[in-house]
Structure 1
Amino acid sequence: MSSEVEWRRKWKPTLTAYPWQPIKIHGTVYMIKYKFTPNSYELLLTDLKHFWYEELADNKLQKRVKKLNPGIEAPLTRILDQVKSVLDKTQEDPNTAIKISFQTEDGGQDVRVLMSLTSQLAGLPFSWNFHCLPAEQHMGSEHLTLPLMAMVSELSRRQRELFQVIQAKDKQIDDYKGQGAKVSRKHIETTKFVETAFEMSMMTSQGFEDQMRNFELDTFNSRGQDLYRQIMTKHAWVHSPTKGMKSDDDSLLDDMSSSEDKKRSTGDSWGNSRLPPSLQQSRSPNKTPSPNKTPSSAKTSNNATPESSPVKGHDSELLRRQALERRLEEEEAKKMEKARKKKKIAF
């Protein structure tokens, strides 16, 4: 079975898995997300009503660099790092030099967004413009609506888990008190947790009211961004086409593990486990000896007694397992060799 850890090492996240960041420009809150590579970027912007998107790479990216910053000679990766660093600062510094203007084509209804950045690169003025077009309709639900629903669902699940933990702690504290334990300082003593009382206090708290005034900025704070990443990564894993597929190595491992599980479930004694066919006739521990057979007739052709035969059977099982493990190692080495050859060909 393809493990999630192995899948995460190979997975290349798309823009969908990158979290939103709130930015406030001229009193308006926008949400922005972006993905940068050494020679390209993707950017998605929304005012929570409309979505705008731009993707730029290679030659088009080089042309814009030369047009906006003709006096700066720097590798493309350095230019992209500079643009990304300015965007990253928008959360830390609301006064970052970012301007947004809206444009419409002559006679058209589609509104385009021009987002301008200004900063310093190696002591020289540096500027950048994003030319964002209206995003495709499905992008709004894929990047915001559905992830938010998943986040609410997951937070509700975690809240239920926390309630159970708190209630279990209350039972533990009651047990301590029943044995005469007391808190060393009175002010750290807590009251027993009641879920309905907690819900009512949250509904009437000042914090609830404050949250409704600033939810646009607080939803995707550092914790919200981290939860978004977790949600989208787990979603990609759950819907991965490789999830649930078994390789030959996995099948062999399953056979070995199931054999070991059977041993553990029935005990290590051969008398309580199923004997190999070669030993079934030489030993029947739950049956009395036949009156027509003498004890010497229970011996095997190699003069092994019934007590010694299981030991040899155990040795053969161990050898079989070692052979399987060697086979797994050989097949893994072959796969790695093939992968290296493919990489050389691709290069």
Structure 2
Amino acid sequence: MSEVEWRRKWKPDLKACPWQPITIASQQYLFKCMYTHSSYELLFTDNVKFWFEQLEGDDLEERTVALNPSVKATPTRILDEIQNCLEKPSKKTNLSASRKKNKFVINVDSQLAGMAFVWQFRCEEADSSMISENFNVPLLAMVAELTRRNKELIKIIEAKDKEIDDYKSQGAKTSRKHIETAMFVTTAFENDMIMSRDFEEEVKRLGSSGFSEDNQDLYRQIMTRYAYLTRPVAAEETTDESVDDKKTPSVNSWEINRLPASLADRSPVKSVNNSPQKSPAKSSSSEEPSPVKDSELLRRQALERKLEDEERKKNEPKKKKKKIAF
């Protein structure tokens, strides 16, 4: 099975969800949450300890009734509100946290359709394997990838310097003096970064700004590729792989499983099978177009096209070079 085909069928899990920063009572935390139409998985950390909670089905409905007896809403609508309170809190949303032995409780006070809405996340300490799979290993992979990209950028800059030097040797000059740049020196650049004020500020923050939007996308891409590389390969997949690679993707292949939950409602093609299950990200309150979502969608479309081109080139027969007689 090609990676393009696998991405269409794969359903992301908690490991593929990027970490997001959140502030509760002036303290910085990181969290990640995976939603379905009737459940959520939440992982929280203060960079020292990790807490986890999974709530689904009847347990979700029981807690909703217990905390909000006057609220009548579907589980999907409740999960939409929970997601908004964590990821896009309004001015009317108040968050507080408390620790009781090995438990971490997050209290949410907000409003749902003009009525008071209360929620409690009751997390317990996460085990070491979950911490490794969701935090340690992905962060090491991100550092390695950013290091690789940094080296590639240095090569590009050095090549550009050689090109500019060649132009100057032929008498070319810049039209304006202030846009002229000095020759790039790697050691000098690294020393300037260490001595800069921004470096000191980043050290003070101790990585709290490490999960910007760009790094969240990098995290998602790394974990998606990791899931593909470590996927269980069935016997049928190995025998039918050559046949599957020749199939042309359908026009209707842009389906919900291809997109993350935050972009499922932005899909330009409607699903063929009208499944009643809906992601909580398809909230009526989030129908307005978002530049972030649109840019992420464009990046993913470009990635899909690139993967399809690579698969097509692999399957094209190699042309024999013509021999020229002298």
Shift of 1:119: 0.8
Kept in 2, the 8 Å contact 1:23–1:94? The answer is: no
Taking the aligned partners of 2:98 and 2:215, their CA distance within structure 1 comes to: 28
Aligned residue among 95, 99, 102 for 1:98: 95
Runs of 5+ unmatched residues, structure 2:
247-310
Kept in 2, the 8 Å contact 1:29–1:216? The answer is: no
Which residue of structure 2 aligns with residue 204 of structure 1?
195
Kept in 2, the 8 Å contact 1:39–1:58? The answer is: yes
1:132 aligns with 2:129: no
Deviations 1:100-146 (A, max 9, x none): 01113xxxxxx101111111111001011011111122111111111
Taking the aligned partners of 2:97 and 2:316, their CA distance within structure 1 comes to: 65
Shift of 1:215: 3.4
Shift of 1:7: 1.2
1:246-325 to 2 correspondence within 5 Å?
A: 246-248=238-240, 250=242, 260-261=317-318, 264-267=319-322
Aligned residue among 176, 184, 201 for 2:175: 184
1:194 aligns with 2:185: yes
1:132-151 to 2 correspondence within 5 Å?
A: 132-151=123-142
TM-score of the two chains, using structure 2 as the length reference? 0.73
TM-score of the two chains, using structure 1 as the length reference? 0.69
Deviations 1:120-178 (A, max 9, x none): 11100101101111112211111111111100000000000000110111111111112
Q: What amino acid is the match of 2:25? A: H
Which residue of structure 2 aligns with residue 113 of structure 1?
104
Shift of 1:42: 0.3
Which residue of structure 2 aligns with residue 175 of structure 1?
166
Kept in 1, the 8 Å contact 2:92–2:111? The answer is: no
Taking the aligned partners of 1:69 and 1:239, their CA distance within structure 2 comes to: 42
Q: Percent identity?
A: 45
SS of match in other structure, 1:260: coil
Which residue of structure 2 aligns with residue 154 of structure 1?
145
Q: 1:142 and 1:260, CA in 2 relative to 1: closer, same or farther beyond 3 A?
A: closer
Kept in 2, the 8 Å contact 1:24–1:94? The answer is: no
Taking the aligned partners of 1:94 and 1:144, their CA distance within structure 2 comes to: 30
Which residue of structure 1 aligns with residue 251 of structure 2?
none
Taking the aligned partners of 2:47 and 2:63, their CA distance within structure 1 comes to: 28
Q: 1:195 and 1:79, CA in 2 relative to 1: closer, same or farther beyond 3 A?
A: same
SS of match in other structure, 1:102: strand
Kept in 2, the 8 Å contact 1:98–1:115? The answer is: yes
Kept in 2, the 8 Å contact 1:89–1:96? The answer is: no
Q: What amino acid is the match of 2:209? A: D
Deviations 1:309-344 (A, max 9, x none): xxxxxxxxxxxxxxxxxxxxxxxxxxxxxxxxxxxx
Of the two structures, which has the highest relative contact order with CA contacts closer than 8 Å and spacing of 6 or more? 2
Larger Rg: 1
Root-mean-square deviation (CA, aligned residues, Å) is: 2.6
Runs of 5+ unmatched residues, structure 1:
105-110, 273-347
Q: What amino acid is the match of 2:63? A: R
1:241 aligns with 2:232: yes
Kept in 1, the 8 Å contact 2:110–2:116? The answer is: yes
Which residue of structure 1 aligns with residue 5 of structure 2?
6
Deviations 1:246-305 (A, max 9, x none): 444616969xx88932xx224499xx9xxxxxxxxxxxxxxxxxxxxxxxxxxxxxxxxx
Taking the aligned partners of 1:146 and 1:157, their CA distance within structure 2 comes to: 17
SS of match in other structure, 1:191: coil
Kept in 2, the 8 Å contact 1:118–1:128? The answer is: yes
Aligned length: 257
Which residue of structure 1 aligns with residue 254 of structure 2?
none
Which residue of structure 1 aligns with residue 87 of structure 2?
88
Which residue of structure 1 aligns with residue 293 of structure 2?
none
Shift of 1:223: 1.6
Q: 1:158 and 1:126, CA in 2 relative to 1: closer, same or farther beyond 3 A?
A: same
Taking the aligned partners of 1:150 and 1:211, their CA distance within structure 2 comes to: 20
Shift of 1:95: 8.8
1:47 aligns with 2:30: no
Kept in 2, the 8 Å contact 1:150–1:231? The answer is: yes
Kept in 2, the 8 Å contact 1:237–1:243? The answer is: no
1:230 aligns with 2:221: yes
Q: 1:133 and 1:199, CA in 2 relative to 1: closer, same or farther beyond 3 A?
A: same
Shift of 1:241: 2.4
Q: What amino acid is the match of 2:98? A: S
Q: What amino acid is the match of 2:6? A: W
